[in-house]
Amino acid sequence: MAVHLRVLLILTGFTGIHSITTVSEVSVKAGSSISIPCLYGLQYINHVKYLCKGYYWHSCSYIVKTNQQNSGKFSISDDNTRRIFTVTINDLADEDTHYWCAVEINGGADVKEYFHLSVTRDTPHLYADPQEITRFNGDNITVNCYYTNTGETKWCRLGSSCVTRSPGSIDGTNVTISEGAHGVFNVTMSGLRTESSGWYWCAKGDLQMPVHVTVTERPTTITLATTSHLTTLSPTPEPVSASFDVEHFIIPLSLLIFIVMVTLLIWFMLKRHQQTRADSSATTAEEEVTYSTVKKKKKTSGKAEEEVTYSNVRHMGKTSDERSDAKSDVDVTYSSVVIVRQQTPKRVEAKNEDVT
């Protein structure tokens, strides 16, 4: 068993599985950004990956590492599941040309792979549109590859095979390459699966342009259908749709608002009418006022003084101002009683001599 394992390790070492796979020549425009994928072997999952800048390996300088914080111009990310680390270079300049994808090996020589960036001020000699694609399982994609150089046309998957003639297939996915307008060829991948996710590239002559494809499971729509009091759950192939007919919602709402407004208008008119009637009843003429004077006199006698009682009675109705404050019209009677003691002239006894 141990012998077979040693033989397998030796064979894998000769076949290059332990090396890094990446693109070799990429045409880019100054000021833009580019992402370069670097595929590594299974045994390097827990190792530190980094980007080194320089034409010669022994004199290149570290730029960014997976165990360090990314800088503004350079960034690096590691996908342990697919064993690909990706380096991104922003704001490309003329000097951004020679780089190395590398993996640190403790106690040994680091594993590395060189790639070259051809920076131009004009349109790149080979570029793809789009460069980032996301689709569902079972969908198709079409990538347009624009070129100005000459050479063989290819569509390749990083770490896998290439298709040069149409039709073809890569890892069970059908690939069709067709020539479009002048200076462009179209690549169509049909019947995508989740396993189709990964890095691909257009190739024309010596140039390559990376393209990243992400394939996810299509979300399942559950439709509730009630028939004969039974609920059936049926998945549909289309994504969930939350759209609805706006007119069916606006028309009933407008009718409801109109009814409410008419009701408020009628209520306001009735209230106004009641208030008008109350004001008109309050402004009616004042009731008649009756003044009564009662005088009670007793006949005078010759023996004593008699009392005389005077009574003044005024019968008045409330004024309009007073009625507005009172709950009902109530008559008010004012009475004044004055007791006057009447003086009786003294009687003078006639003397005999005065009588004739």
**What CATH code is carried by the domain that includes residue 157?**
2.60.40.10
HEC letters along the chain: CHHHHHHHHHHHHHHCCCCCECCCEEEEECCCCEEEEEECCHHHCCCCEEEEECCCHHHCEEEEECCCCCCCCEEEEEECCCCEEEEEECCCCCCCCEEEEEECCCCCCCEEEEEEEEEECCCCCEEEECCEEEEECCCCEEEEEEECCCCCEEEEECCCCEECCCCEEECCEEEEEEECCCCEEEEEEECCCHHHCEEEEEEECCEEEEEEEEEECCCCEEEEEEECCEEEEEEECCCCCCCCCHHHHHHHHHHHHHHHHHHHHHHHHHHHHHHHHHHHHHCCCCCCCEEEEEEECCCCCCCCCCEEEEEEEEEECCCHHHHHHCCCCCCEEEEEEEEEECCCCCCCCCCHHHCC
Does residue 45 lie in a domain region? yes
Residues 150 and 201 in one domain: yes
pLDDT of residue 282: 59
Mean pLDDT of 343-353: 45
- Range(s) of the domain holding residue 139: 125-239
Residue 15 has pLDDT above 50, yes or no: no
Residue 198 has pLDDT above 90, yes or no: yes
Domain end marker among 83, 106, 122 = 122
Does residue 276 lie in a domain region? no
Cis peptide before 130 (omega within 30 of 0): yes
Q: Which residue has the higher pLDDT, 289 or 218?
A: 218
Note the pTM of the prediction, 2 decimals: 0.58
Number of domains in the chain: 3
Residues 76 and 140 in one domain: no
Of the ranges 9-18, 173-182, 288-297, the best mean pLDDT one: 173-182
Average pLDDT score, the chain? 76
Model confidence over 61-111: pLDDT tens digits?
999 999 888 878 999 999 999 999 999 999 999 999 999 999 999 988 999
Within 8 A by CB and 6+ apart from 170, the residues are 155, 156, 157, 160, 161, 162, 163, 189
Residue 290 has pLDDT above 80, yes or no: no
CA 263 from chain center: how many Å? 37
Does residue 262 lie in a domain region? no
Domain end marker among 122, 142, 159 = 122
Distances from the Cα of 69 to the Cα of 40, 74, 76, 223, angstroms = 21, 10, 9, 47
Phi/psi region, residue 174 (left: phi>0; alpha: psi -120 to 50; beta: rest), is beta
Domain end marker among 122, 147, 162 = 122
